[in-house]
Amino acid sequence: MYDLGGLVVRLKELEPDFREVDEAAKAARRAISKRGYRRNRTDGTAKPS
């Protein structure tokens, strides 16, 4: 039998990060599904002026 206690402890430490990413993805999906959605271009891909 294998002892997975150490792995469980590590995964519990990492879980909040994954939850934040999941919640952000859900919020983005909700925003896109709403009418009048405008994409936020703060990722550096804005058109040069």
pLDDT at 33: 84
User: Going residue by residue through the chain (49 aa), what tens digit of pLDDT does each one get?
Assistant: 899 999 999 999 999 999 999 999 999 888 888 777 676 666 555 555 4
pLDDT at 45: 58
38 phi/psi in degrees, rounded to 5? -120, 125
**CA distance between the termini of the chain:** 64
pLDDT at 37: 66
pLDDT at 31: 84
User: What is the pTM for the complete model shown?
Assistant: 0.51
b/e burial code for range 2-30 (CB count within 10 A of at least 16 → b) = eeeeeeeeeeeeeeeeeeeeeeeeeeeee
| Sequence ranges of the domains in the chain | 1-33
pLDDT at 48: 53
